[in-house]
Amino acid sequence: MTTRIGIDAGGTLTKVAYWDEKKEMSFQKFPSSDFNAVKDWLETNHSLASICLTGGRAEQLKRYLSSKIEIPYIVEFDATMNGVMYQLKEEVVSSDSAIIANIGTGTSIHIMQDETHSRIGGTGVGGGTLLGLGSALTGISDYKDIIELSKEGKRGSIDILVSDIYQHNKLPIKGSLTASNFGGIALKSEETRNHSDLLAGVQGIIGEVVATLCIQAADAHRVEDVIYIGSTLEENELLQKIIESYTILKQKKPIFLEKHGFSGAIGALLENK
């Protein structure tokens, strides 16, 4: 069967979007450390597919696929923004201008205004931090295990809140805000902490750093909507909750799309006409 496929080969995960027999968009993902699995899947299921590639590891994947015809490539940021715009339409979310944060291995921050877009910043704090710091602190390296355990965690002994510092004093800002991520480990020495607590603390760092940067970008560019994408949000309700509540607190509108990590792959698929 000849079909069309968009592939986003990222630093951690390779995401695939394609049209199935019922002409519905379908999805697959593979670790980017296993391009053989991508190749096998394509050869078994879609040997005649017309592919469009995007993502930082597209060139390496291309070498694995050893196609006789040249595989087209679309710039990652263009693919991602096209994928975001497609999902906004599909999910009937209207947003003419927004900050977009792609929480992948690292985090890239963009502004979209009147169908044009540009990159305005980023941070090395992202999904790779969740896996890397999470594993350094607990020895647990599986993504699903990390997010499951973190759900039960309590950050009270990990972080220092504004209210911990301003005890019995008039609060200058909301007491429930984090004054210091992981500062509690240094200052609340008598407390016990388990793996769940530590992992919840890591989710806190990621959510709060990313949301803070996005809120500042939204203020600077006078936009209200912040769209959060990237596989780090996949099945990760805790991270979504941290990001959502902080963004709302700062009077911005957080938007999460259903196919968190697939915007780049969708954009590559749509480019593949």
Which residue ranges make up the site for ligand ATP (CB under 6 A)?
10-13, 32, 56, 104-106, 127-128, 130-131, 143, 230-232, 234, 261
What minimum distance in Å lies between the beta carbon of 105 and ligand ATP? 3
**DSSP secondary structure string, 37-96?**
HHHHHHHHH-TT-EEEEESTTHHHHHHHH--SSPPPB--HHHHHHHHHHHHHHHTT---S
d(CA 189, CA 81): 46
What minimum distance in Å lies between the beta carbon of 265 and ligand ATP? 9
Q: Which residues of 100-134 are buried (b: 16+ CB within 10 A; e: fewer)?
A: bbbbbbbbbbbbbeeeebeebbbbebbbbbbbebb
76 flagged as catalytic: yes
- With CB atoms as reference, the residue minimizing the distance to ligand ATP is 10
Nearest to 216 by CA among 77, 123, 78, 85: 123
Of the listed 76, 208, 244, 271, which one is catalytic?
A: 76
104 near Mg ion, rule: CB under 5 A: yes
Look at residue 128 and give the partner it binds from ligand ATP, Mg ion, none, a contact being a CB closer than 5 to 8 Å depending on partner kind.
ligand ATP
Which run of H or E residues covers position 184? helix 183-187
What minimum distance in Å lies between the beta carbon of 13 and ligand ATP? 4
Look at residue 127 and give the partner it binds from ligand ATP, Mg ion, none, a contact being a CB closer than 5 to 8 Å depending on partner kind.
ligand ATP
The partner residues of 54 in beta bridges, in order of sequence, read: 8
| 12 vs 150, beta carbon nearer ligand ATP | 12
Look at residue 183 and give the partner it binds from ligand ATP, Mg ion, none, a contact being a CB closer than 5 to 8 Å depending on partner kind.
none
What minimum distance in Å lies between the beta carbon of 232 and ligand ATP? 4
Signed CA dihedral, 197, 203, 206, 211: sign only: negative
**One of 4, 7, 9, 10 touching Mg ion (CB under 5 A):** 10
| 82 vs 157, beta carbon nearer ligand ATP | 82
Distances (CA, A) of 248 to 134, 214, 244, 254: 27, 12, 6, 7
Look at residue 130 and give the partner it binds from ligand ATP, Mg ion, none, a contact being a CB closer than 5 to 8 Å depending on partner kind.
ligand ATP
Phi, then psi, of 137 in degrees rounded to 5: -85, -25
Catalytic residues: 76
Which spans of this chain sit near Mg ion (rule: CB under 5 A)? 10, 104
